[in-house]
Chains A and B, each alone.
Chain A
Amino acid sequence: MIKLENINKYYQQGGNQYHILKDINLTIGQGEFVSIMGQSGAGKSTLINIIGFLDDQFEGSYYYLNQPIHDYTRRDFSKLRNQNVGFVFQNFKLIKNLTIAENIALPLLYAGQKRKLIKKQIVQALTAVGLPASEHKKPTNLSGGQQQRVSIARAIITQPKFLIADEPTGALDSQTSKEIMALFKRLNQQNNTTIIMVTHDRKVAAQGERLIQILDGKIISDEKIGVKA
């Protein structure tokens, strides 16, 4: 499904050029649950931002479902993001002055749907992440774990092919982390949703079935770590 070939990424800063990703080659198939680990600054976020179509400034080839994404325009990237991928971030990234329901509705609205016709989908998504009947609350009235559930609900509402999660449990306690990981596993197993997750936590990483380690912009190891139930 995802195929990266010789991906290089540079950042320009104050006249200096930093080489962040170095010749990344990576293939990820439909339904995989991939954990990515590595030191701070290794380039993990940079990599999954490219995978998740958030970053269109890179060198090399990216084939998604055999399409040459590296040739796409900024417009095309918006569409790809909207229709194929869901995002979960460490700090949830919810819009504070919108209600939970309005936050979850965003991807569908940008897909061209009407507010009136998506109420049922919102209820379903909230139920799926274990937060029924909280449509009308504001994000600030929820705990961190609950907010992360909302952001997962937003990520899955368009029924995307894959999820990108950048340290999804980084701001949560271990009990809540466990619950969130259980949710990810269920999505992966029940819906066959591909999950690509960055984490610093070994226990969290161990929930995946494949572990990729990155150091200084290079993949230093890529191994199967568990058997799919």
Chain B
Amino acid sequence: MQFWELFKTSWLSLRTNPRRSLLTIFGIVVGIAAVITIISLGNGVKKKMLSELQATSTGKQTTEIDYYSNNSTAAMGFNHQDLEKIKGKFSKVANIKVNNPVHRVTTTALVGNQAANTRITLLKKPAADFKLLAGRKITADDLAVANPVALISEKTAKKQYGSSSNALGTAVEIKHISYRVVGVYRSNKSRYKVSFLLPKRVFYQQNTLDNGNTIKMTFNHGANVSQESKQVVKYLKKHGSQHKQGSYEYFDIGSMLKSVAKVIDALTVFISAIAGISLFIAGIGVMNMMYTSVAERTQEIGIRLAVGAQPRTIMLQFLLEAVMLTVTGGLLGFLLGVGLAKGISLALPFKAVVTFSSFLLAFGVSALVGILFGLLPAKQAANKNLIDILR
């Protein structure tokens, strides 16, 4: 018989008793699901680890060092000199840059002729999620050419100029740059509960870009980034511009993830062992079902042999039934495992990663269980004595 026809024959037989088939594969579903879950989580933590050791698009790795000030009004932790010093001292640092995640600053502003402490939000992109009361917004062009323009909040406008329209066209001086007020806005969003919105590029125009509380270092290929970063921190604690007013910290996410990975590796061994037992018991179940099936279908086997089935074909038919059964269990287990891993990783700081090799593992292991435990019943089916059956 052609293989495909044999395949269909086995499938049709399985379908005649779906409940028994489903019960039999339950153990396989559970075993495979457990293994796939833990492996996907393990893959997830390993991937996260790699990305935290931050391979950039060029394959170079980056780390970050943060500065925590002891008192809130103090100056930023890194300045131009700090960066130059690190560059000169550590040859493996390929590039160093200050991160300016700060988009809200408090600084003195000259509004009219009055100097006052003023809160400002810096815009990197044109923003539209507020209500414009007068004038215009800050456009992409303004941002691109670093146009010194500002939006003023309705509250500040009323306080300083009496009305929204009065504020339009006035100038405000912040950190030695004069901004022209082009619009008045109103918003309840916390990031807009400030007096002015300014283009970020204009605000950081004068070298002040080298000031910040976080630096990002890119290392040359092959550098031990965690060790190098620790060295830099050690150096900064002695020689950093603000080392007396605060502390420089390097949070080694990589090593934290490494220990998580170790835990997951241990768990993987443990769960695999349990899943192995589960699969073994499930395999015995499959064997039991196949023996029962062979006994029940003695007549069918006799008829098939009588009309010319090769004993080998009969064996293959029953073996295929066993394998299709367990592989169905394996695939269901795979889906369940993927679902579980994704669900669990919602509560973890990394995402589950499902790979094609996990799929192959589920497929291969379940097929193997089918072959191992289906072989004996299938052989028994094939070796039945035709004359005894037909009597």
Contacts and interface: CB of A to CB of B under 8 A. Distances in A.
Nearest to B313: A110
A61 interface: no
Interface string A57-101: 100000000000000001100110111000101000111011000
Contacts of B300: 95
B383 to A, nearest CB: 10
Contacts of B9: 109
B332 to A, nearest CB: 25
A54 interface: yes
Contacts of A201: none
Chain B interface bracket (under 10, 10 to 19, 20 to 34, 35 or more): 20 to 34
A114 B8 CA distance: 11
Contacts of B111: none
A79 B308 contact: yes
A115 interface: yes
A54 B309 contact: no
A110 B309 contact: yes
Contact of A93 (B306, B308, B387): B306
A106 interface: yes
Given A94-B303, A106-B303, A106-B304, A78 B5 contact: no
A154 B306 CA distance: 11
B308 A83 contact: yes
Contact of A49 (B13, B304, B387): B387
B84 to A, nearest CB: 79
B285 interface: no
A148 B305 CA distance: 19
A102 B302 CA distance: 16
B303 A78 contact: no
A109 B306 contact: no
Contacts of B391: 45
A81 B306 contact: yes
A111 interface: yes
A87 B306 contact: yes
A112 interface: yes
A55 interface: yes
B311 A114 contact: no
A107 to B, nearest CB: 4
Interface in A107-122: 107, 109-115
A41 to B, nearest CB: 12
B308 A110 contact: yes
B5 A114 contact: yes
A222 B327 CA distance: 58
B107 interface: no
A49 B310 CA distance: 17
B387 A95 contact: no
A109 B1 contact: yes
A55 B387 contact: yes
A224 to B, nearest CB: 30
Given A49-B387, A78-B305, A89-B390, A112 B310 contact: no
B309 A78 contact: yes
A106 B309 CA distance: 9
A49 B2 contact: no
Contacts of B311: 74-75, 78
B239 to A, nearest CB: 82
Nearest to A106: B307
Contacts of B306: 54, 81, 87, 93
Interface of B: 1-2, 4-5, 8-9, 12-13, 16, 299-300, 302-313, 386-387, 390-391
Q: Which 8 A-B pairs have the closest CB atoms?
A: A82-B308, A107-B307, A110-B308, A81-B308, A78-B310, A110-B309, A106-B307, A97-B16
30 contacts: A49-B387, A54-B306, A74-B311, A78-B305, A78-B309, A78-B310, A81-B307, A82-B307, A82-B308, A93-B299, A93-B303, A94-B303, A95-B299, A95-B300, A95-B303, A95-B304, A98-B12, A106-B304, A106-B307, A107-B307, A109-B1, A109-B9, A110-B1, A110-B310, A111-B308, A112-B1, A114-B4, A114-B5, A115-B8, A154-B307
